[in-house]
Structure 1
Amino acid sequence: MDYLPGTASLVKEIDKKQLVVLRDGRTLIGYLRSIDQFANLVLHRTIERIHVGKKYGDIPRGVFLVRGENVVLLGEINLATEENPSLEQVSIEEILEIQREEQLVKQQDEERKKKALLERGLQPHTDGITDDFF
């Protein structure tokens, strides 16, 4: 068995269909065409797949360059079992609308939690940098 350290081990994955999960949560599916020492990836015939519940939609993205620092997960897709009957494919417009509705519900839940904490005299956790430090 040949072992290649670091990103060199990805050489065997070139020209295979790959699933890539990015730091921001997006999921890309495409053919790996090129890599470098920083794990920067070039994907060809790329789609962005959006999952919401048991539904998904694909947005065509074409050639896609991904900085290695943004890759969370990279895995080969088994072409023989790629079609998943437990998921329903819907149009791009429909999946984007479903995603917007889901995000709105999450935002409303967060606001309710924040309000409940404030009513109890607790300071809710805030993400990011606050103006208190400046």
Structure 2
Amino acid sequence: MNPAEQAPQQDGNALGAAAAPSHGAPQLPPQMFTTAAQLLDLTDKKLMLVLRDGRKLLGVLRSWDQFANLVLTETKERYYVDVPGSQPLRKLFCDIPRGTYLVRGENVLLLGEVDLDKDDESPPGYEEGNIEEVFAIQKRLENERKKNDKTKSRKAGEFWGGELEGSGEILF
């Protein structure tokens, strides 16, 4: 074999080695890992969840699955209310114990880890209120909001000439 015939083989081998596909699937950096497996680091930690319907839950994440369905223990539902008619404006919160809670993954809007060093403090700008008082204010405000939403929906339907498509209850 003459040297001219060997040169292309050597160049081909050199390029082939450099451009050869690596073995196995390419690895993504950890910050790109966006599946439910990210919950692994949050297992057995205290979390606060905001659900699509506006509820806020505090609890310890015990288990989860590939759909991000969550099992929380020692769960508390937290309510925040502004006391209407109070001068200066009073802001109250309360935690209602709910026990073990199963949350369907598609209902989670936001979740975050609770800083245990600040967990015993009241949220900034809020004072802890009586559960019955805060719950009653919350229900009254929710009923007023639903009534206003119905009125707005009816007026919009009259303006646009009929019922609006998907004019069910507003989530927030």
Aligned to 1:21: 50
Q: 1:125 to 1:99 in 2, by over 3 A?
A: farther
Q: Could you tell me the percent identity over the aligned residues?
A: 44
Residue of 19, 44, 65 corresponding to 2:73: 44
Tell me which moved more, 94-103 or 104-113: 104-113
Distance 2:73 2:36 in 1: 19
The structure with the largest strand share of the pair is 1
Provide TM-score, normalisation by structure 2.
0.63
Q: 1:116 to 1:25 in 2, by over 3 A?
A: closer
After TM superposition, list the pairs within 5 Å mapping 1:10-89 onto structure 2: 10-53=39-82, 54-82=91-119, 83=121, 84-89=123-128
Larger radius of gyration: 2
Distance 2:60 2:136 in 1: 28
Consecutive unaligned residues of structure 1, counting only runs of 5 or more, are 130-134
Aligned residues: 126
Q: 1:99 to 1:42 in 2, by over 3 A?
A: same
Consecutive unaligned residues of structure 2, counting only runs of 5 or more, are 1-28, 83-90
Q: 1:86 to 1:122 in 2, by over 3 A?
A: same
Aligned to 1:90: 129
1:7 and 2:46 matched: no
How many angstroms does 1:103 deviate by? 2.5
Provide TM-score, normalisation by structure 1.
0.78
